[in-house]
Amino acid sequence: MMEYLEKTFRWFGPDFGITLNDVKQTGATGVVTALYNVPIGEVWSREEIKRLKKKIESSGLKWSVVESVNVHESIKTSSANSKEYIINYIETLHNLSENGIKTVCYNFMPILDWTRTDLFFPLKNGSYSLRYFKSAIAAFDLFLLNRKDAINNYNSNTIDEAKTLFDNLSEEEKGTLKDTIMAGVPGTRDVFSIEEFKSRHAEYISIDDIQLKKNLVNFHKKVIPEAESIGVKMCIHPDDPPFSIFGLPRVINNISNIENILRKVPSYYNGLTFCSGSLAANPKNNLAKIFRLFSERVHFIHLRNIQLEEDKSFFETDHLNGSINLAEIMELIIQEQLRRYSEGSRDVNIPIRSDHGPLMLGDIKLKEKFYPGYSTIGRMKGLAQLTGLELGLRHKICS
């Protein structure tokens, strides 16, 4: 009998409002997590990995995927000390492999991880979600960050809208906008200061998309052979959003760029995290076509839905309602499972998680405890919806 998709749940640790027992009650069997206490670029020790794995397993769960072993900015910019950080990265992969953890999700986004402008955007049903509003990004860029040449990245309508929006913000609202955009890395509550962001941004002045691709390929040429030798599947996460913000380059954002990066180091272990919500934020991206083309190299799946708005704005929605046809995507995933099963692949039960989820019901009162987008009930609802979708389509396809 073919295995179902492996249901997983991202866990940032008990400091973010969710226990492992909570995770177990969601229906997930796997945990997606990382050593968030270790500074980016430092080696994850065998002992710390083993300790966290034992804690997860003692709760009756499995540590299925690492998300993320973050890539140090020195590697992305290919600065003088990048070799040292690549060596550290490889050592971490070896330590994970020795503990039986074989799937690693990571991204190559400059400075910031996923970026939003509103963490509590009200939906019609009374729940809250995450929103990316281009005019708010422009307002921050032009009037808070005061980035040189920022005016060249926006059309006149967006600039006018940004000025109107900014002029109507209170000082407190300006601070909230800054903190929302400058949130650093998932798993921490750190927020970049304007000065720190400017300093990091300056390191990318001479780095465009072409150069960032070269730096990523250089990283892959050193890391992927090591990962292959120890059986660790590397799966790069698409840029979120999949277009330039603040003049920074983006290189995992469309079908041609993904193909280029996977082709340059053509190993099964150089794979992709298929994230529906990230890719769909650019309406030019054909999600079904992207999945079909790279399905053999998809090692991890994030499914969420978004509602596209005008001019590259969007907000996150219920998993089964939005601009993305997740039923079509789920059907393609099951077909890929059937292919793997028929060919005797060991990677049939691909790990999947409900990516983000609305803040709803009792979790609304606890909103300050959760990492944004990662409350319990909304993600549990999403996981249930995806599980039902999978079972219904599997019955249709396999009967």
Q: Which residues are catalytic?
A: 237, 275, 302, 355-356, 374
Q: What is the β-pairing status of strands 128-132 and 62-67?
A: unpaired
Kind and range of the H or E element at 55? helix 46-58
Rounded-to-integer distance, Cα 347 and Cα 364, Å? 38
Q: In a 3-state reduction of DSSP, which class is residue 70?
A: coil
Question: Whose structure tokens read 């396999």?
Answer: 398
- Burial pattern 95-105, b for ≥16 Cβ within 10 A else e, equals bbbebebbbbb
Q: In whole angstroms, what separates CA 49 from the centre of its chain?
A: 21
Q: In a 3-state reduction of DSSP, which class is residue 300?
A: strand
Q: What is the β-pairing status of strands 128-132 and 118-122?
A: antiparallel
Distances (CA, A) of 368 to 71, 184, 293, 320, 332: 28, 17, 40, 26, 37
Rounded-to-integer distance, Cα 188 and Cα 142, Å? 27
